[in-house]
Amino acid sequence: MNLRAAIAPLVKGDVQDDAETLRKFSRDTSIFERKPTLVVSPKDANDVSALVRFVAEQKKNPSTELGASGENISLTARAAGTDMSGGPLTDSIVVSFMKYMNAMREVGGNPDVAVATGYAIAEPGMYYRDFEKLTLAKNGTILPPYPASREMCALGGMIADNAGGELTLRYGKMDRYVQELDVVLSDGSRATFRALSALELEKKKAEQTFEGDIYRRMDELLKNNRDVIEAARPNVTKNSAGYALWDVVDRKRGTFDLTKLIVGSQGTLGLITQARLSLVKTEPHHAMLVIFLSDLGKLPEIVRRVLAFAPESFESYDDHTFKLAARYGYEFLKHLGFRQTLALALAFVPEVWALWTRKVPQLVLLAEFAEDTDGEAQKKAHEAQAALADLSLRTQVALGTMEKKFWKIRRESFALLRKHVHGLHAAPFIDDIVVHPDDYPRFLPELNALLSQYDLMHTIAGHIGDANFHIIPLVNLANPAHRKAIMELTPKLYELVAKYKGSITGEHNDGIMRTPFLPMMFSPKVLELFAETKRIFDPLTIFNPGKKVGGTLADIERWMMHPAATQASTGGGGKIRR
Ligand SMILES: Cc1cc2nc3c(=O)[nH]c(=O)nc-3n(C[C@H](O)[C@H](O)[C@H](O)COP(=O)(O)OP(=O)(O)OC[C@H]3O[C@@H](n4cnc5c(N)ncnc54)[C@H](O)[C@@H]3O)c2cc1C
């Protein structure tokens, strides 16, 4: 009997192992490729439970009939597959939530209060773009930590990666918005995690169930290691590395909240089947201050001054992205009507002119101010502009179509790169570092010195206000020197990040790429606590093995994409067009 035949009768959903399906699920947006044995699309949480029970049984009593696929069996959750770290990749079973478990259950809240808050209850396979349409229509609220991949990603991945994005500077990451999570645990039972009071925690601990056992053991682990855990909290505004043990107990509110561990755990502790999320109403009127920077030495001072005006977001993109936008910006116009097309086309004239006259800035900074009225937003943007006057910079307050243009370039930067760099792969492997903004003056020169040691062209875009840099080198994975550079440059860069007590991943998470480097960020004691947490939730290692705990450098080398696949994904050999 093969795995498909063994599992199909247990679930109502689809169980597939045809070549086309396996090929489709063997990639995310990372540098890895890993072909699963089977893809299961559950219809509901009962299907997910049945699947987990089957795998747990196989782990305890492997069926000889299932051969290797039975012995090494595991479950890896998948939402939209846009992860950049290899998080949803496996050679065993993929649990895909997109086909059936994608419904909005409820949207609620009070739209009349000044800063409207609300909530939504939804399934993990719902695309963020569909989710936002419904929450906006219901009461004008949104889920602010949406990532730049907002048109392609889904809620399950946003929660499990602890995603953040352009609004994180003001509104925080996913962990702040998760109120409740329905999770299938590793024994197949179902639990709802949320913030518990001290009394509720004691009640949970008294339950003689696997869930009760998790509460008992996690409470003990957190109590016994309180100081070590607090000291391990990364000194940055955003982090997705490791398990957020330091966030479970909120002493001010007197709560104990295991959602803080499930968020950002990349499906290694349990499978999320439903989430209750907070929503907010953001300020409706915007104005953007654009800063064109040719001397990076001024960056720390600019960031310091602009942050004092509390922008809603503070983003950036580099000269390479600028050039790609000047060349290919017309692609943004495809889906617009005539008038919008004309307006946006005209908005790109300055980029084309700068390219023509070779006056491309090294970095473009976008500070967006959001307020109750147009007047207030514009006033803020102009005040911030005035505050930079003595730094001899080119700045501009952008409104309307101009503002839209800058957002388009920022949001599409990775997509532009992936599409238009021929023969090379836009490779995320050092794509998500964070330091404290106060460390810019010392950190940035060291970062540039390190990157310049390698002959890898790269782009830098990101959330400059959070000091979160997305560095995307362009590599030829068929070239052994480039593969070697990946393995060499990564630890060197993370050593630098560790020196500044930063994070190796602000939002994209650990996956295959970063799990082996967690020792560069956390002490052996903290790593042991991560491993113990994994054992408490998942003693048989059913969920997404090798991610967060147990990943090795050999995994990176083993699963790094095959060169032939690279050629196909980038459109064949050629040169970078700069
Ligand atoms: C162009 C581009 C831009 C990006 N920009 C950003 C950005 O600004 N900010 C950011 O944070 N990320 C960004 N990303 C990375 C990625 O898009 C986000 O992390 C996104 O939230 C992942 O969602 P997904 O639905 O694609 O998840 P997937 O890739 O399917 O899965 C991500 C992880 O979640 C786990 N998972 C999925 N569903 C479940 C579930 N039901 N239960 C348990 N675990 C589950 C998977 O196992 C995997 O480990 C970007 C990616 C691209 C390609």
Q: Answer yes or no: pTM beyond 0.75.
A: yes
Residue of 95, 161, 429 to mutate, ligand 1, most atoms within 8 A of C-beta: 161
Structure confidence at residue 116 (pLDDT): 56
Q: How far is the CA of 153 from the centre of ligand 1 (A)?
A: 6
- Please give the share of the chain, as a percent, with pLDDT higher than 70: 92
- Tell whether ligand 1 has an atom less than 6 A from the beta carbon of residue 274: no
* Bridge partner list, 40: 15, 95
Q: How far is the CA of 83 from the centre of ligand 1 (A)?
A: 4
User: What residue ranges of the chain have pLDDT lower than 70?
Assistant: 1, 67-71, 110-116, 330, 332-340, 344-345, 352, 355, 563-578
- Tell whether ligand 1 has an atom less than 6 A from the beta carbon of residue 153: yes
Structure confidence at residue 572 (pLDDT): 33
Query: Closest ligand 1 atom to the C-alpha of 155?
Result: 25
Residue 100 and residue 43 in contact, taking contact as beta carbons nearer than 8 Å = yes
Query: Closest ligand 1 atom to the C-alpha of 507?
Result: 11
- Tell whether ligand 1 has an atom less than 6 A from the beta carbon of residue 472: no
Query: Closest ligand 1 atom to the C-alpha of 544?
Result: 47
- Tell whether ligand 1 has an atom less than 6 A from the beta carbon of residue 86: no
Structure confidence at residue 65 (pLDDT): 75
Q: Can you tell me the distance from the alpha carbon of 124 to that of 91, in angstroms, rounded to the nearest whole number?
A: 22
Got the DSSP string for 309-352? T--SEEEEEEHHHHHHHHHHGGGGGTTS-HHHHHHHHHHTHHHH
Two tokens, residue 418: 């992936």
Q: What is the pLDDT of residues 326-342, one digit of tens each?
A: 777 767 666 556 666 77
Got the DSSP string for 147-184? -TTTTT-BHHHHHHHT---TTHHHH--GGGTEEEEEEE
Structure confidence at residue 326 (pLDDT): 79
Q: How far is the CA of 231 from the centre of ligand 1 (A)?
A: 28
Query: Closest ligand 1 atom to the C-alpha of 83?
Result: 29
Structure confidence at residue 185 (pLDDT): 98
Q: Which residue has the tokens 């169930």?
A: 209
Structure confidence at residue 339 (pLDDT): 65
CA angle 81, 86, 90 (to 5 degrees): 85
Query: Closest ligand 1 atom to the C-alpha of 166?
Result: 8
Q: Can you tell me the distance from the alpha carbon of 456 to that of 430, in angstroms, rounded to the nearest whole number?
A: 12
CA angle 178, 182, 185 (to 5 degrees): 120
Ligand 1: residue whose CA is nearest its atom 27: 157
